[in-house]
């Protein structure tokens, strides 16, 4: 059995065991741990010298229609698979005691994980799409059954919103399939990319826009971002970790995988549009984030805001920008997962996430305070964390895209986008101060407990990942850069 | 084996069952259903050995009867759905008994099990009909059986109301059909579809309006049968009032038969490009209206049966979209694949609904609240049926929609595709409503006993679930069967 297939099957089988009534927590931890080790092993055994897609396995499911169940991974896929397995492991680990249907809760988490890994490792358009869509329903159930606040309305909104986005995406994918010359039509992403390099795909701007907005809705591109903050605030912490940390990266991954090789001309043609929208993400949503009075909503908005930076790397369309963007997928995934884990822990210890009721928490829960500090710094993009490395690459890449000697669209937008770093520093530090320093808030008691060791270690793993790749980004960039080597630096 | 025997077997089986009914003891009525299921499964196996070349093409009946792959596939389709409907009918038997005027145990059950077998014979003939006369006769055989079945619950006002409505509208659509056939006959001088196709290219241009008028009338009649907007208005009331197995049968087999006839008639007419240009746009309009109406009107429904009725209208819309894209080389296969997927998921939903409704006394969505706690396996089966109906990947329903949409894009029906996307999103809404009821909500009566499922029904549910996933992941074997 191909190793990538095992990566998908392990969570699915584990989920089946959970549903069937096995002790869900233990077996899920085991499955997620095994998957993490396997993901790491694949990353190490990938031959960078050869590059391209490796561990390829192909099964023709429906030859006359060209649908193959083919799996394969290049550097980009492997980094995202590592992200998915790492966050899944952490999410399973931080899951507190579940009161009702514990088996189904873990099964839903593992299902999302399998869907994401499947999407990242599919080299057939059909399964690339299908695996992602598969993860929608567990999200619906996770928010609807175990969510907080107006969980029903929110679960509804998220699912319809994402389903709508997925169908726009599906139309784009059908258009992409038809864009190839009839005798060469294929669903194989590798062949599509080659056709794209050779200039034999003529899909036209409509297909690009379908893909841009289909993926854009999944990524929460401004102005289609309204589903995200509410969903993450309402979802139970492990679900928010997986969705914001991993599943949302599917959209950006799709743009890197399909739009960059096949639509270079269209990306340039519509660069101004995307630049305006991404400034909406960074500045407008940034200011909205500043105004939030609850930690979970603030984190939700901040994750939407950071997507603006990822889009900046995308339109830069050079090695530096795209490399930074793909590094950011990894860095942002770990950061937001750590933050949601910590916010879930704060809510459990104090019973609230309102800034007005919190304060002085570091005095009674110093470990929680220390780790939250680390995660907040990572989110701001402090040097030493890989968020810094990715943002700086994106900014340089986007700036270099502009005309030398003048100050054009790209340079103006980069300058404006830089302010996003300042905005995120303001809201993150303010949240840190409001929750952990100052006088004790009404929800913080002297006997409030510090974080449990399970959550502690899960977050430490995530932050360690950020620090290691922050001090030595080359660890990941060696995998990522060859993917974009054909582009201008 | 001569394929003509297949229908003969089914008719003989139906008559034997009716005879046996007269002699079966009150406690043994369910045996009729089991015998029917076994017999139909036997015929289903026989279809794989049917050899069209065994037919004597010179015989007079050969002009009326066609046994191509399309016909054989649809016969299998009819047989399979009848088998599942009979399984459902066994589960539904207590309701039938309670709604009979007679106090005698088992009253009316035997006919309830035997009539679907006769309807099945009609459906199989319809699949092979190559002549308007034959189409008309087989359609009537099916429809008249349904008149009886729809109003079967004689103590239930809703069932009687449904029966009356179905009778009036069925008769009306029959009128349209016959009238349309006479116009077509008047213009071409033929009732045989092949002969019509041969006669059409040589027609005088002046008679084309008359021909189109006749075709329009036939289209209206078929629109009633497949429940295409604006001829869909009878569907919700009839579906809700009819006994649940009959509703399932109506929404699957009767609709499929309507589509087969539509395909057959169209095949004869689209040979002339001039006619094709006039006919397909009309069907596109019908498709758009049906997709939008079915999916939007389903949103506020709170009764599951009614919800499925509207959803069946919506699915008819997607199928019509496939018909409107007939120019695409793959369209015929796409429509048949969609029908097969539709059979599996709709019958699964109705089967689970029958069982749950027996236990909780109603088929409102509130009766499904907390089903996950009462019967997790049934809830899971329903979840799968809803996901497939909504079109989630790796289920049969998704592939069906994908193929249809792909044909539509090839034929550049962009407006319809855009409508379809809106409809799919709203479909998510109301199918997820069912999932919400089962998984999020608390049961109305927490002390309600667990739901018991008979072994036959359990087995059928498992097979249907497996088939839905199998077709969604690995459709090649089914596609090999399709013409």
Whole-number Å distance between alpha carbons of A215 and B465: 31
Per the DSSP assignment, residues forming a β-bridge with B204 are none
Residue B423 has pLDDT above 70, yes or no: yes
Q: Are A367 and A411 in contact (CB under 8 A)?
A: no
Kindly report the average pLDDT of chain B as a whole number: 88
Q: How far apart are the first and last CA of chain B?
A: 20
Structure confidence at residue B35 (pLDDT)? 92
- Give the position of tokens 């008979």: B454
Whole-number Å distance between alpha carbons of A75 and A478: 8
| A131–chain B Cβ distance below 8 A for any pair | yes
Task: Tell me how far the alpha carbon of residue B392 is from its chain's centroid.
Answer: 22
A171/B436 touch (CB, cutoff 8 Å), yes or no? no
Confidence of residue A63 (pLDDT cuts 50, 70, 90): low
Measured between beta carbons, which residues in chain B are less than 8 angstroms from residue A224? none
Q: Which segments of A220-318 does DSSP mark as H helices, in order?
A: 227-234, 237-242, 249-254, 260-262, 264-269, 271-279, 285-290, 295-316
What confidence tens digit (pLDDT) does each residue in A307-328 have?
Answer: 999 999 999 888 899 999 999 9
Kindly report the average pLDDT of chain A as a whole number: 88
| B112–chain A Cβ distance below 8 A for any pair | no
B473 CB contacts (<8 Å, ≥6 apart)? Answer: A61, A69, B394
Q: How far is CA B11 from CA B8, B78, B116, B120, in A?
A: 5, 14, 11, 9
Whole-number Å distance between alpha carbons of B217 and B180: 5
| A134–chain B Cβ distance below 8 A for any pair | yes
Q: Are B135 and B261 in contact (CB under 8 A)?
A: yes
How many Cα atoms are found within 13 Å in the side-chain-facing hemisphere of B384? 27
Per the DSSP assignment, residues forming a β-bridge with A223 are none
Residue A64 has pLDDT above 70, yes or no: no
Whole-number Å distance between alpha carbons of B437 and B443: 9
ipTM: 0.78
Q: Which of B81, B119, B38, B122 is nearest to B341 (CA)?
A: B81
Measured between beta carbons, which residues in chain A are less than 8 angstroms from residue B392? 133-134, 136-137
What confidence tens digit (pLDDT) does each residue in B197-221 have?
Answer: 888 888 888 888 898 999 999 999 9
Whole-number Å distance between alpha carbons of B61 and B65: 6
Lowest mean pLDDT among A317-321, B100-104, B140-144: B100-104
Q: Which two tokens stand for residue A41?
A: 């092993």
B34 CB contacts (<8 Å, ≥6 apart)? Answer: B90, B456
Length of chain B: 483
pTM: 0.87
B204 CB contacts (<8 Å, ≥6 apart)? Answer: none
Q: Pick from A129, A133, A167: which is nearest to B421 by CB? A: A167
Query: Which residue, among B387, B394, B410, B479, would best test binding to A if mutated, counting the most A CBs under 10 Å from its CB?
Result: B394
What confidence tens digit (pLDDT) does each residue in B351-393 have?
Answer: 999 999 888 878 888 888 888 888 888 998 999 999 999 988 8
| B481–chain A Cβ distance below 8 A for any pair | no
Measured in angstroms, the CA of A184 and the nearest CA of chain B are apart by 16
Q: Which two tokens stand for residue B298?
A: 């389903």
Residue A354 has pLDDT above 80, yes or no: yes
Collapsing DSSP states into helix, strand and coil, what is residue B246?
helix
Q: Pick from A144, A160, A171: which is nearest to B440 by CB? A: A144
Residue B452 has pLDDT above 90, yes or no: no
Structure confidence at residue A216 (pLDDT)? 92
Lowest mean pLDDT among A177-186, A206-215, A281-290: A177-186
B432/A130 touch (CB, cutoff 8 Å), yes or no? no
Q: Pick from A62, A152, A171: which is nearest to B417 by CB? A: A171
Gyration radius (Cα) of chain A, Å: 21
Query: Which residue, among B295, B385, B391, B402, would best test binding to A if mutated, counting the most A CBs under 10 Å from its CB?
Result: B402
| A460–chain B Cβ distance below 8 A for any pair | no
Structure confidence at residue A353 (pLDDT)? 87
Q: Which two tokens stand for residue A260?
A: 């960059």
Measured in angstroms, the CA of B335 and the nearest CA of chain A are apart by 15
Q: Pick from B387, B402, B425: which is nearest to A164 by CB? A: B425
Residue B408 has pLDDT above 80, yes or no: yes
| B424–chain A Cβ distance below 8 A for any pair | yes
B392/A136 touch (CB, cutoff 8 Å), yes or no? yes
Q: Pick from B425, B435, B479: which is nearest to A163 by CB? A: B425
- Which string of b and e fits B179-193 if b means at least 16 CB within 10 Å? ebbebbeebbebbbb
Measured in angstroms, the CA of A296 and the nearest CA of chain B are apart by 23
Structure confidence at residue B27 (pLDDT)? 74
Measured between beta carbons, which residues in chain B are less than 8 angstroms from residue A164? 421, 425
| A59–chain B Cβ distance below 8 A for any pair | no
How many CB pairs (< 8 A) connect A and B?
A: 69
Mean pLDDT of A422-440: 90
Measured between beta carbons, which residues in chain A are less than 8 angstroms from residue B379? none
Q: Which two tokens stand for residue B416?
A: 């319809």
Measured in angstroms, the CA of A152 and the nearest CA of chain B are apart by 9
Measured between beta carbons, which residues in chain B are less than 8 angstroms from residue A156? 429, 432
Q: Pick from A62, A141, A167: which is nearest to B475 by CB? A: A62
Task: Report angle CA B303, B382, B468 to the nearest 5 degrees.
Answer: 130
B409/A171 touch (CB, cutoff 8 Å), yes or no? yes
Element (H, E) at A70: strand A67-73
To 10 degrees, the CA torsion angle through A28, A32, A33, A38? 140
Collapsing DSSP states into helix, strand and coil, what is residue A62?
strand
Pick the residue with more confidence: A16 or A62?
A: A16
Asked if omega into B310 is within 30° of 0 (cis), the reply is no
Q: Which of B165, B469, B333 is nearest to A130 (CA)?
A: B469
Q: Are B31 and B142 in contact (CB under 8 A)?
A: no
Per the DSSP assignment, residues forming a β-bridge with A354 are A294
Whole-number Å distance between alpha carbons of B459 and A262: 48
What confidence tens digit (pLDDT) does each residue in A97-147 have?
Answer: 887 788 888 989 999 999 999 999 998 888 888 888 888 888 888 888 888
């Amino acid at each position: 059995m191909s190793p990538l297939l095992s990566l998908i099957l392990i969570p699915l089988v584990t989920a089946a065991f959970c549903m069937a009534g096995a002790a869900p927590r233990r077996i899920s931890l085991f499955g997620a741990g095994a998957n993490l080790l396997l993901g790491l092993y694949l990353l190490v055994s990938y031959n960078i010298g050869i590059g391209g897609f490796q561990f390829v396995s192909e099964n023709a499911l429906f030859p006359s229609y060209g649908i193959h169940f083919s799996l394969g991974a290049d550097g980009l896929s492997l980094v995202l698979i590592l992200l998915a397995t790492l966050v899944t492991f952490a999410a399973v680990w931080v899951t507190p005691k579940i009161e009702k249907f514990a088996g189904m809760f873990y099964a839903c988490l593992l299902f999302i994980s399998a869907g994401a890994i499947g999407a990242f490792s599919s080299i057939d358009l059909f399964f690339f799409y299908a695996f992602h869509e598969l993860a929608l329903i567990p999200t619906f159930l996770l928010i609807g059954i175990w969510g907080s606040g107006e969980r029903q309305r929110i679960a509804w909104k998220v699912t319809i919103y994402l389903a709508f986005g997925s169908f726009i995406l599906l139309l784009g994918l059908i258009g992409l399939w038809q864009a190839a010359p009839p005798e060469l039509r294929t669903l194989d992403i590798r062949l599509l990319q080659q056709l794209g390099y050779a200039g034999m795909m003529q899909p036209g701007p409509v297909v690009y826009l379908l893909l841009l907005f289909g993926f854009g809705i999944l990524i929460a591109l401004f102005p289609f971002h309204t589903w995200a903050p509410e969903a993450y605030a309402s979802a139970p912490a492990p679900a928010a970790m997986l969705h914001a940390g991993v599943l949302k990266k599917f959209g950006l991954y799709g743009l890197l995988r399909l739009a960059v090789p096949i639509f270079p001309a269209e990306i340039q043609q519509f660069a101004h549009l995307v630049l305006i929208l991404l400034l909406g993400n960074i500045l407008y949503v940034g200011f909205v984030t500043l105004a939030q009075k609850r930690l979970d909503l603030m984190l939700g908005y901040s994750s939407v805001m950071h997507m603006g930076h990822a889009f900046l790397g995308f339109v830069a369309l050079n090695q530096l920008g795209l490399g930074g963007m793909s590094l950011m997928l990894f860095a942002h995934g770990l950061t937001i997962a750590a933050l949601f884990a910590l916010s879930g822990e704060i809510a459990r210890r104090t019973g609230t996430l309102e800034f007005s009721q919190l304060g002085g928490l570091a005095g009674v829960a110093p470990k929680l305070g220390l780790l939250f500090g680390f995660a907040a710094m990572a989110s701001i993009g402090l040097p030493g964390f890989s968020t810094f490395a990715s943002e700086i690459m994106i900014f340089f890449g986007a700036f270099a895209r502009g005309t030398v000697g003048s100050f054009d669209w790209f340079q103006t937008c980069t300058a404006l986008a830089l302010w996003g770093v300042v905005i995120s520093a303001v809201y993150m530090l303010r949240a840190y101060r409001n929750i952990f320093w100052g006088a004790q808030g009404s929800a913080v008691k002297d006997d409030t407990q510090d974080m449990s060791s399970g959550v502690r270690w899960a977050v430490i793993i995530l932050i360690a990942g950020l620090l290691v790749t922050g001090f030595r980004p080359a660890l990941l960039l060696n995998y990522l850069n060859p993917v974009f080597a054909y582009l201008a630096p | 084996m001569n394929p003509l025997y297949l229908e003969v077997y089914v008719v003989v089986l139906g008559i034997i069952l009716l005879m046996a009914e007269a002699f079966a003891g009150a406690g043994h009525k369910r045996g009729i259903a089991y015998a029917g299921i076994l017999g139909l499964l036997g015929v289903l196996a026989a279809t794989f050995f049917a050899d069209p070349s065994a037919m004597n093409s010179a015989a007079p009946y050969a002009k009326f009867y066609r046994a191509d792959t399309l016909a054989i596939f649809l016969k299998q389709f009819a047989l399979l759905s009848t088998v599942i409907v009979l399984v459902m009918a066994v589960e539904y038997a207590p309701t039938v008994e309670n709604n009979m005027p007679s106090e005698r145990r088992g009253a009316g059950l035997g006919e309830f099990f035997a009539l679907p077998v006769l309807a099945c014979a009609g459906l199989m003939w319809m699949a092979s009909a190559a002549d308007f006369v034959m189409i008309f006769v087989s359609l009537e055989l099916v429809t008249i059986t349904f008149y009886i079945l729809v109003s079967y619950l004689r103590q239930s006002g809703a069932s009687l109301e449904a029966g009356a409505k179905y009778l009036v509208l069925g008769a009306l659509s029959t009128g349209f059909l016959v009238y349309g056939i006479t116009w077509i006959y008047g213009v071409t001088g033929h009732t045989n579809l092949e002969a019509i196709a041969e006669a059409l290219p040589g027609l005088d241009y002046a008679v084309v309006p008359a021909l189109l008028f006749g075709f329009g009338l036939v289209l209206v009649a078929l629109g009633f049968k497949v429940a295409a907007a604006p001829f869909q208005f009878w569907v919700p009331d009839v579906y809700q009032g009819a006994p649940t197995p009959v509703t399932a049968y109506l929404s699957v087999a009767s609709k499929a038969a309507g589509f087969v006839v539509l395909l057959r008639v169209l095949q004869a007419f689209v040979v002339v490009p001039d006619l094709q240009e006039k006919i397909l746009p009309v069907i596109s309009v019908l498709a758009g209206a049906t997709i939008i109406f079915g999916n939007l009107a389903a949103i506020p429904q709170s009764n599951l049966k009614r919800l499925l009725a509207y959803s069946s209208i919506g699915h008819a819309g997607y199928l019509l979209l496939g018909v409107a894209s007939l120019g695409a080389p793959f369209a015929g296969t796409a429509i048949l694949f969609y029908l097969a997927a539709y059979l599996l998921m709709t019958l699964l939903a109705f089967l689970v609904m029958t069982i749950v409704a027996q236990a909780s006394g109603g088929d409102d969505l509130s009766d499904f609240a907390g089903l996950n706690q009462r019967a997790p396996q049934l809830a899971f089966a329903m979840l799968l049926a809803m996901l497939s109906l909504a079109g989630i990947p790796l289920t049969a329903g998704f592939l069906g929609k994908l193929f249809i949409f792909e044909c539509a894009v090839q034929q550049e029906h962009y407006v319809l595709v855009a409508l379809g996307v809106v409809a799919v999103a709203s479909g998510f809404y109301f199918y997820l409503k069912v999932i919400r009821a089962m998984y999020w909500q608390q049961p109305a009566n927490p002390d309600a006993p667990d739901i018991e499922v008979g072994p036959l029904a359990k087995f059928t549910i498992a097979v249907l679930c497996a088939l839905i996933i199998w077709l969604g992941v690995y459709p090649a074997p089914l596609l090999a069967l399709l013409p």
